[in-house]
Chains A and B, each alone.
Chain A
Amino acid sequence: MAAISSDNHGLRLVVRYAVLTLIAAIFIFPLVFMVMSSFKPDLQLLRDTSSFRAFLPVGDLSLDNYRDAFTRAPVATFVFNSVLVTGLTVLLSLLFCSLAAFSFVFLNWTGRSVLLSVILATLIVPFETIAIPLLLLVSKLPWIGLDGFQIGWLNSYRVQIIPWIADGLTIFLFVQYFKDLPKELIEASRVEGASWWQIYRKVVMPLSGPVLATAAILKFLVMYNQYLWPLIVVQQESYRPVMVGLQYFFQLDTAWGEIMAYLTVITVPVLAFYLVLQRAFIASIASTGVKG
């Protein structure tokens, strides 16, 4: 950053923090509403929505909503399922998509541009529009597992994971990032006799912290918020993820307080994941000076 003259340093700092904080308030207020509401009984919660009391811990506060939410639905199971499915998908996705992108950017091979075009075109297909054909497909797919050969993937973790591993957006994310990496590094390693796998592993991946973090977060969000797909391929409660679980709270007489409690609980893993990854953004490759 540019050097800051010392005379108005203090004032500028105050202004900066004021701007940052004001923007922060805009981003956080519905979430404050969510968390505060989770401690209030239903009627009070609904009455408070019309005033600033909605953001304040006032009135009759308790953890009742949390207790009731956990008795109403197997919350722990849902969170476990979502974290497991999401975690595995993210890991596999990072591997498969970065490999493909590596190949598209750094290697020359027949069919490269056609394949890349097809992959980019899939970006345009909203999932909602292929859900039913995909359902029909996975219900006929074979599987060989520990318990032998079977037809159909319904009611399993694999049906929630495998179709989601590779996607155009993640590959595209890596492709755009890899384009910014200096080609000379790759060619130099090639001249030194490194294999492609070694280059991927030892040269490119260590420089890819920010894009790995971005891709991981994107995938995490998509997977953690899965709703339509698990709804149609999972009939057993034991495999249900968190967003399907949210439906447990929309009874004829909606339990708003419990909904807020549940939302607060299921938001924690995502936030934690982001906070962990945030370091990866900051551990930037800028300091390694690979560019320029």
Chain B
Amino acid sequence: MNRRILLAATLATTAGFAGTASAQTALSMWYHGAGGEVEGAIIRQIVDDFNASQSDYVVSLESFPQESYNDSIVAAALAGNLPDIVDVDGPVMPNWAWAGYLRPLDIDESLIENFLPGTKGYWNGELYSVGLWDAAVALYARQSTLEALGLRTPTLEEPWTKEEFMAALDAAKESGDFEYPLDLGMAWTGEWYPYAFSPFLQSFGGDIVDRETYQTAEGVLNGDAALEFGEWWQSLFADGYAPGTSQDPADRDAGFIDGKYAFSWNGNWAAVNTIEGGVDDVVFLPAPDFGNGSVIGAASWQFGVSAASEHPEGAAAFIEFALQDKYLAAFTDGIGLIPSTPTAAEMTETYKEGGPLNVFFALSEEQALVRPVTPGYVVAAKVFEKALADIANGADVADTLDAAADEINADIERNGGYGHQ
């Protein structure tokens, strides 16, 4: 297998020297993984394999640091300098599609039939992007903590109710063994807030915007359910259950491992480090059910084709090629992401039936809800982040949520409704 690829690669190179390179079309691709060594190696492998597998296209890869990837893309788009294949964060995709940065993705959709729902990027009824993986969030805890505090272990079928969850936090608080019962990751600003916390709001029965029309936030972000959520959210900080917005980033990274926190709301990407950090009895619990089911956020990074591409068919061919189970599994084994298909999950040590992280696959399948699919999400997410930070710091809940709803509505109006059909 490897030898065949090597041979093919050699042939391709030789052919290149022989002068047939001019027949090959160059495609450029941008990826958000600069600095991630394992991730970089896998994506390079896919590119090399693709280049070796056919003779029509040659893909060249440019990697960007994730922190600033979106800024780079937007700047490049403004300057008219986009590549053929781009990598896009799921919730941002509608914004770029609406702006005309992306074109609909023309691939054989039967290929992605069994993909996790969060990995398929649809906007206005058309497929724009597909992800090789998803991510999921769970409540990290130690089995020993659960036992010591005498807590029922929640399951997917029967997650903790709000009362059970708060009772668990109280028990942890009263035990006196922890600095705080709960670590929400308030030190991580930016997309973490809407990604990790808007599912709580949804479980309470509210949302960031009204998903029926995507034209207003009135009534969903500041309705009764949202007010109830806001009061609860504020109490987490006011009553000392969780560290607030000034949490030290070091504590976010190491606090749970060091036993400062009883529970930690964290993504699957931190699982491997937690286990390696010495927490061998860590368990990943599903989100509590606040009344409308357990919800977690969905959609991670996905591939799409830029509208500027002169060879969309080549770009689509590359994406089709990348969707093979072995690559999905490679990302999972390499960096702990959730593979998009059950067949790929079975190929991995961690996510296969009975594997230590298999629970995340189930979480993603059962509970994941994509963030509002609208070009306005980018702005709404910022507004939501600030509202949650303010409420955590003691701002009046009703006033804050009203102001947030007003700001989101004003933005939707200024953008002519964001082109929803």
Contacts and interface: CB of A to CB of B under 8 A. Distances in A.
Chain A in direct contact with chain B (Cβ < 8 angstroms): yes
A251 B249 contact: no
A6 interface: no
A125 B347 CA distance: 56
Interface residues of B, number: 33
A235 B31 CA distance: 11
Interface string A56-90: 00000000000000011100000000000000000
A73 B35 contact: yes
A202 to B, nearest CB: 45
Q: Which of A47, A235, A237 has the most chain B CB atoms closer than 10 A to its own CB?
A: A235
Contacts, number: 84
Contacts of A247: 34-35, 65-68
5 contacts: A72-B35, A135-B79, A247-B35, A249-B35, A256-B250
Interface of A is mostly: helix
Contact of A154 (B68, B79, B277): B79
B358 interface: no
Interface of B: 30, 34-37, 62-68, 71-72, 75-76, 78-81, 248-251, 253-254, 257-258, 267, 269-270, 273, 277
Contacts of B64: 235
Contact of A43 (B36, B76, B277): B277
B85 to A, nearest CB: 14
B273 A236 contact: no
A46 interface: yes
Contacts of A249: 35
Contacts of B30: 235
A54 to B, nearest CB: 11
Given A72-B35, A233-B75, A154 B65 contact: no
Contacts of B253: 42, 46, 253-254, 256
B8 to A, nearest CB: 27
Contacts of A205: none
Q: Which 3 A-B pairs have the closest CB atoms?
A: A248-B35, A247-B65, A232-B75
Given A247-B35, A256-B250, A256-B253, A235 B72 contact: yes
B34 A237 contact: yes
A251 B36 contact: yes
A244 interface: yes
B25 to A, nearest CB: 20
A55 to B, nearest CB: 16
B78 A132 contact: yes
